[in-house]
Amino acid sequence: MAITLPSYAKINWILEILGKRSDGYHELRTILQTISVADQLTFSPIEAGIEIECDHQDVPLDRSNLVHKAATLLGEFTGIKTGVRIRIDKRIPTAAGLGGGSSNAAITLIALQKMWNLQLDPADLFSIGSQLGADVPFFFMGGTCLGVGRGDEVYPLEDLPAQSLLLVNAGISVSSRDAYANLPHELTNNDGLAKMPLSLKAAYAFSGSGSGDVVPIWELLKNDLEIPVLPLHPLIGDIKQRLKKSGARGVLMSGSGSTVFGIFDSQETRSRAQSDLSDTGWWCAPAHTLGRKDYRKACSWNGN
């Protein structure tokens, strides 16, 4: 019996670089959010091996695909020899700061546990996920989460109020390696580790609100990776300006880019903004935030 599940994208409301770690990675504090844009993955049992199919030409079908790696790691960890064919219907742009590959890997681990009649201990599941990528553990939770460490140490937060979003991607290729390599010294000298709030309420207080009142999320948007990326790719800055002029309350590049999201007061305002951008040829997708309860419900499986 085949299993079909959505594989949702994410954005980063906040992404702060707190310093350089001894293992060569950067210490992060990020607030992640699942959103409604999603790929669709279909898992079908076969006698042996791992086969990947995809409708997008830029997605590798070999062992370099995170989906293939996820299935391989799970099989090695559990000793399962059963094969699987995985069909990826791609709707999330690749290498776009939206976590599409990481989401696909997480959903693969979730689906194959069901298909192979497994129930991993959460610690083992998160350990396998962390080996695949820093964003993978987040997609076992969904909703609004705090990520620290490399971003792979994830803590669920109270979900933020629903937001209407417009995602824009002009097809720019941004190298995450270059983005991190070109961070200014003040973001890599570890001074930030001394001022690290560990909750969303603490983040509100840290931002200067002080009263404990919930402030709109667009007043907290921050992505330190914009500092090295925007000078290298000025079109991303142009997209931000276009979204602001089109009525977005807040705009930000997600992750290491190159997707930019805008937050809108209403679906009507968002629709007008999408119309304003219709002549650009850019990928534009309306979306909304997806809370943890709805995320987990959507990721439950139905055989077909």
Alpha-carbon gap, residue 3 to 116, rounded angstroms: 11
- 189 and 46 housed in the same domain: no
Say if residue 126 is in the same domain as residue 177: no
Residue-level pLDDT at 23: 79
For residue 19, is it within any domain?
yes
Task: Name the 3-class secondary structure at 146.
Answer: strand
Residue 208, C-beta contacts closer than 8 angstroms, at least 6 positions apart: none
Q: Are residues 259 and 199 in the same domain?
A: yes
User: What is the number of domains present in the chain?
Assistant: 2
- Span 233-247, average pLDDT: 96
Residue 297 lies in a domain: no
Q: What is the pLDDT of residues 111-149, one digit of tens each?
A: 999 999 999 999 999 999 999 999 999 999 999 999 988
Residue 184 lies in a domain: yes
203 falls in which pLDDT band (50, 70, 90)? low
Same domain, 13 and 132: yes
Q: Which CATH number belongs to the domain containing residue 199 in this structure?
A: 3.30.70.890
The catalytic residues are 10, 135
**Average pLDDT of the segment spanning 219-230:** 94
Residue whose tokens read 């937050």? 263
Q: Please give the helix or strand (H or E) that residue 256 lies within, else none.
A: none
Greater confidence (70 vs 18) lies with: 70
Q: What is the mean pLDDT of the chain?
A: 89
Domain assignment present for 302: no
Our CA angle for 128, 130, 134, nearest 5°, is: 155
Do the domain assignments include residue 303?
Answer: no
Q: Are residues 182 and 134 in the same domain?
A: no
| Highest mean predicted confidence (pLDDT) among 154-158, 183-187, 211-215, 221-225 | 221-225
Whether residues 37 and 174 share a domain: the answer is: no
Average pLDDT, stretch 190-212?
52
Task: State whether 99 and 180 are in the same domain.
Answer: no
**Are both 9 and 152 inside the same structural domain?**
yes
H/E element holding 48?
none
Pair 10, 146 in one domain: yes
Residue 212 φ/ψ, nearest 5 degrees: 85, -5
Please tell me whether residues 100 and 140 are part of one structural domain.
yes
Residues 59 and 130 in one domain: yes
pTM: 0.91
Tokens 């960890």 sit on residue: 77
Same-domain check for residues 131 and 171: no
Region 209-222 average pLDDT: 74
What CA–CA distances, in Å, run from 231 to 26, 235, 263?
Answer: 21, 9, 23
Instruction: Please report the pLDDT score of residue 53 as a whole number.
Output: 97
The DSSP code sequence of 170-203 is ------HHHHHHT--GGGTSSGGGGS---SHHHH
260 with 244: CB under 8 angstroms?
Answer: no
| Domain of residue 104, residue span | 3-157
Tell me which residue has tokens 């807040």. 250
Give CA torsion, residues 208, 214, 215, 218, to 10 deg.
120
